Amino acid sequence: MERDENILELSSVSKVYGEGHTEIRAVDRVGFSVAMGEIVLIMGPSGSGKTTLLSIAGGLMTPSAGEVNVSGQTLTSLSRRALSRLRLRKIGFVFQAFNLLGGLSAQENVALVMNLAGRKDKSVDRDSRELLSRLGLGERLGHVPADLSGGEKQRVAVARALANDPPLILADEPTGNLDSRSGREVMLLMSDLARERRKAVVIVTHDNRIMSIADRILWLEDGRLSAGDVSAGDVG
């Protein structure tokens, strides 16, 4: 895929709760696209609709209006099974709360995602080890989440998001539970791997410290994007 090929496209997407005088427009006619190899930050104040927008982009939430297209497929046209299959193979998710399975080791958390995609061969062990090692966890493969620091847990989460080599990575406040140093280290590692593997990355964040990794910054407020992209010097 070329750099100018869009992997994610949102067209006039809205999410409305309630109706009449109780209506709340969490996302209001938002449209943007993300190309392969591009890292985009979505920033804005708390309650601006950032997480709702990311959930819609990843097929975790259905928009009230508008369309979301991932890898050439319109999400609202897919059956529940087809949508689940697309998310597993085409989208990697990174969450603020890590969302690791506490009873599994770091390597098992990553290998599980590969298994769910239908991989059962010996390459699962090799590839999960390699991913975690690239993220500095080569000595922590057998540790369960309770024995890992916050930064280590998020590195496992990044490895899990990359496990099936999806073209699109969506991250929701990935540094929210990390200190300044750990957060920046994890984001630099993720951005390096994403660029190396030519992933499109969308990060919802309020963390000005990671703005330097972005190709573009979009500003969302009251559910609406600003008229144009925001440069690093315009925020914070």
Q: Is residue 130 part of a domain?
A: yes
**Residue 135, domain member (yes or no):** yes
In whole angstroms, how large is the CA radius of gyration of the chain? 18
* Angle, vertex CA 121, rays to CA 116 and CA 123, nearest 5: 95
What's the mean per-residue pLDDT of the chain?
91
Q: Residue 44 and residue 32: Cα distance in Å, rounded?
A: 16
Hey, is 18 helix, strand or coil?
Answer: coil
- Mean of pLDDT values over 14-22: 89
pLDDT at position 229: 55
Task: Provide mean pLDDT across the span 17-44.
Answer: 93
Indicate if the pLDDT at residue 110 is higher than 60: yes
Is 141 domain-assigned?
Answer: yes
Mean pLDDT of 99-112: 96
In a domain, 31, yes or no: yes
Tell me the CATH number at 210: 3.40.50.300
Output the CA torsion sign for 25, 51, 64, 36. Answer: positive
Is the pLDDT at 193 greater than 60, yes or no?
yes
Say whether pLDDT at 59 is over 90.
Answer: yes
**What would the mean pLDDT of 92-103 be, rounded to a whole number?**
94
Whether 215 is in a domain gets the answer: yes
Residue 235's pLDDT is 45
Banded pLDDT at 122 (limits 50, 70, 90): confident
In a domain, 213, yes or no: yes
Residue 1 lies in a domain: no
Return the pLDDT at 121: 85
In a domain, 132, yes or no: yes
What Cα–Cα distance (Å) separates residue 101 from each residue in 30, 87, 120, 139, 148? 34, 19, 19, 19, 13
pLDDT, tens digit, 9 for 90 and up, residues 130-188? 999 999 999 999 999 999 999 999 999 999 999 999 999 999 999 988 998 888 899 99
Cβ atoms 195, 188 nearer than 8 A: no
Structural domain total, the chain:
1
The residues near 44 (Cβ < 8 Å, ≥ 6 apart) are 50, 206, 219, 220, 221
Torsion-angle region of residue 193: left (phi > 0), alpha (psi -120 to 50) or beta?
alpha
Give the domain range for residue 182.
6-234
